[in-house]
Amino acid sequence: MEFLILPDCAAAQPFARAAAGPGTRSVAHASGRPWLVGRWEDEECVLVDGGRNRLALLGPTRADTGPLARLLDNSRAPHDLDSLARSLPGSFHLAASFDGRTRTQGSLSTARHVFHARIGGVTLAADSPSGLTALMETRLHEETLALQLLLPVPWPLSGRPVWTGVETLGVGCWLDVRPDGDAREATWWTPPEPDTPVARAADAIRDALVDSVAVRADHQDVISADLSGGLDSTSLCFLADATDARLLTHHWEPMDRANADTRWARRAADLMPDAGHRFATAADGPVWYEAAPDRDGASDDVEGPLVWTRNRAHTESLARTVRDAGATRHLIGVGGDELFGISPQFGWSLIRSDPLRGIRTMRRFRSVNRWPLGATLRSLADRTSFADTMARAAQGIDAPPAPRFTPPLGWGRGDPRMPEWATRDAVATVRRLLNETAALRPRPLHPDRLQHQTLEVTVTSGHAARQLNRSLRPLGVTFETPFLDDRVIDAALSVRVADRVMPGHYKPVLTTALRTTVPDAVLNRRDKGAFGQEAYEGLYRNRERLAELCDALRLADLGLVDAGALRAALYRPTPDTRALSPFENTLACETWLRSPSAVAPLAASPAGGPR
């Protein structure tokens, strides 16, 4: 699926002609002018005509067009669709044409996102930067590429486009475009307060997840899913097994014998006898860091470096297997850790919402994580503002990594660091970007640090999932992430902080929600598999190939990376898997720069010819 959204004005009509091509479809405003131009399948789009108002839902969802037509007919402004946006299941773009105004929005996680640009005096919107860059003069924003080397990139910089002139929407916002082509952001959603007991929130979470999986199974003879053995993906398998589609699961056996995933996956498979199950060993597929084969059209996306680059070849191999089995949608558990796992900021928020329980819980946390007492107390007492946390992070991006057993300080997911092979210019550029952003005094996603961090990592994973699906689009398979759907996120964020961690229980909110739907034999798992051996083995096997990249490093040509320092780091062993993460960011940027997607396209003129 891909589409361009145009405002209801004469100045936008030439862009519709420029975007049209073989296989494109179009939908008009009530005025008759072009509104949507793109490619999509019938089951991917719900179109509703309400007289002067029109609505399009692009992506897996479920909606009754009759009541929607009446809602549109009775609506007077795009804001009247806020409640509809909150109520629909699935993951989709919502686009509406309101007598000259347009409303366009993606999903909260940005798994469905909206990009927009001012071109030829009007604002155009699209589901990907490629729909815009093909119509405008643009260039690679090298400063943003330098930012991609930072780990982690803090919000709001994490969503910054790599192309000049392209903008994105904020979390919970929609794009309001007037008939004259002018645009502004409007808010339709704000995070809920974490004040709902888990016993009451569990029904909403369960219903949202059941609906999210069900809409993916609609119109499908076969639906595919990861059966990793972990709680998140395994739970989705049971929800999918309850739909009318035939379920086919896939499990890759981990290399580390201490990883219990396969044992739990086989236990779950035995409880789904009607489904088909595929178990593969590590020898049956590519290892991490392996070069993805150049076949079947799988490609990099114009949007930017693919976040999940380390196991890209593995993912593409799985996508081909899914396709050959007759499935076009594959469920993955991304989002489960983000919403229901333990966040580094949990203690900070708990001790403010329930001090007595917070003190008891933090004693256990400190013991398990081997945090020093003084550092723990400083972390819990920290009152640094969101902007000041970013400014403080800017000063330390080239410092040595923080000690492993250190509690979090501030609002972030960790202390951002540039890799040791980043050049001085790259470090200076990223430090300036962080300081400039901090000087604007940005507001966090929520005043509570746990809520902010949960949303931040959810958006990060939505960004990665979106990029993955753009790169896999030529293969005809989408990797679906039900945990990242709006209704699931909203319900999960409503749970009070004190209920999110319980002694002796793993992901207690999720297990409580699914207790009547997923067997206890699955929900009783209390640990999570680790994949350090896959990382080390993949890096060892592919080290020579990765080192060869340093002979003509594109990042070095841009002055961002010291090729010699990168090559030396590749041959330097490290016992800490955290030290491997910077390689992933650098590899993602270098791989993308070597692809055709990193070349600024020749803009098409509104008349359709090059200029």
Residue 200 has pLDDT above 60, yes or no: yes
The residues near 129 (Cβ < 8 Å, ≥ 6 apart) are 115, 161, 163, 166, 302, 303
Query: Whose CA is closest to 166, among 185, 141, 190, 146?
Result: 141
Q: In three state form, how does the secondary structure of 173-212 look?
A: EEEEECCCCCEEEEECCCCCCCCECHHHHHHHHHHHHHHH
Contact by Cβ (8 Å): 246, 222 = yes
Query: Whose CA is closest to 103, among 168, 32, 55?
Result: 55
Q: Kind of pairing, strands 167-168 and 115-119?
A: antiparallel
Alpha carbon separation from 453 to 134, 292, 313, 340 (Å, rounded): 35, 32, 30, 12
* Choice among 100-109, 187-196, 362-371, 472-481 with the minimum mean pLDDT: 362-371
Please write the tens of the pLDDT for every residue from 555-599.
999 999 999 999 999 998 777 777 888 998 999 999 899 888 777
What strands, in cross-sheet order, belong to the sheet with 478-480?
Answer: 276-280, 246-252, 222-226, 329-331, 478-480
Residue 91: pLDDT band (50, 70, 90) is very high
What strands, in cross-sheet order, belong to the sheet with 173-177?
Answer: 45-50, 53-58, 93-98, 101-105, 173-177, 183-187
Q: Which domains does the chain have, with CATH numbers?
A: 2-187 (3.60.20.10), 198-339+454-532 (3.40.50.620), 343-452 (no CATH)
Residue 276: pLDDT band (50, 70, 90) is very high
Q: Percent of the chain beyond pLDDT 90?
A: 74
CB-count burial class (<10 Å; 0-12, 13-18, 19+) for 609 = exposed
Please write the tens of the pLDDT for every residue from 411-450.
988 889 999 999 999 999 999 999 999 999 999 999 999 9
Cβ count within 10 A of residue 138: 22
Q: pTM here? A: 0.94
Phi (first) and psi of residue 487, to 5 degrees: -65, -35
Query: Whose CA is closest to 472, among 298, 236, 321?
Result: 298
Residue 395 has pLDDT above 90, yes or no: yes
The residues near 94 (Cβ < 8 Å, ≥ 6 apart) are 55, 56, 57, 81, 84, 85, 103, 104, 105, 174
Q: Write the DSSP symbol of residue 426.
A: H
Cis bond upstream, residue 156 (ω within 30): yes
Please write the tens of the pLDDT for every residue from 471-495.
898 899 999 999 999 999 999 999 9
Residue 608 has pLDDT above 60, yes or no: no
The residues near 133 (Cβ < 8 Å, ≥ 6 apart) are 163, 166, 302, 600, 601, 603
Residue 16 has pLDDT above 70, yes or no: yes
Contact by Cβ (8 Å): 128, 302 = yes
Interhelix angle for 312-324 vs 449-472, to 10°? 60
Please write the tens of the pLDDT for every residue from 211-260.
999 999 999 999 999 999 999 999 999 999 999 999 999 999 998 888 99
Dist. CA 392–CA 411, nearest whole Å: 11
Report which listed range, 309-323, 507-521, 537-551, is most confident: 507-521
Dihedral sign computed on CA atoms, order 498, 503, 505, 506: positive
* Choice among 173-177, 212-216, 311-315 with the minimum mean pLDDT: 311-315
